[in-house]
Amino acid sequence: DAKTTQPPSMDCAEGRAANLPCNHSTISGNEYVYWYRQIHSQGPQYIIHGLKNNETNEMASLIITEDRKSSTLILPHATLRDTAVYYCIVKGNTPLVFGKGTRLSVIA
């Protein structure tokens, strides 16, 4: 599976949009981009995934560049409860492989 690069940490003001970037320049054509998050003392939680089109659900939006080498997870109105580690994962037919993720701190 392709590797991903994420910033180790980010801050976001409560109520503002949180934009979390992810680079995956070696992604293959059949690999999806997945996002999970892990709130303190909990297991990872699925957020969203996509192949090449932008995706939106009740939690977030996923923007994938046309060349698929990078993506951005958008939390439109961040709340304090969105403080967590966010993992960007590129996955083909193998189990999820987690990196260190981005620690997002939402600040009041």
Partner 1 sequence: EAGVVQSPRYKIIEKKQPVAFWCNPISGHNTLYWYLQNLGQGPELLIRYENEEAVDDSQLPKDRFSAERLKGVDSTLKIQPAELGDSAVYLCASSFNSGANVLTFGAGSRLTVL
Q: Return the number of the residue (101 or 104) whose C-beta is nearest partner 1.
A: 101
**Identity of the residue, 15 or 54, whose beta carbon is nearer to partner 1 in the bound complex:** 54
Task: Report the C-alpha gap between 99 and 10 in whole angstroms.
Answer: 16
The region, left, alpha or beta by phi > 0 then psi within -120 to 50, assigned to residue 3 is beta
Residues 36-65 within binding reach of partner 1 (CB under 8 A): 41-46, 49
Q: Which of 9, 53, 60 is nearest to 35 (CA)?
A: 60
Near partner 1 in 80-99, by CB under 8 A: 87, 93, 95-99
Q: Give yes or no for residue 32 binding partner 1 (CB under 8 A).
A: yes
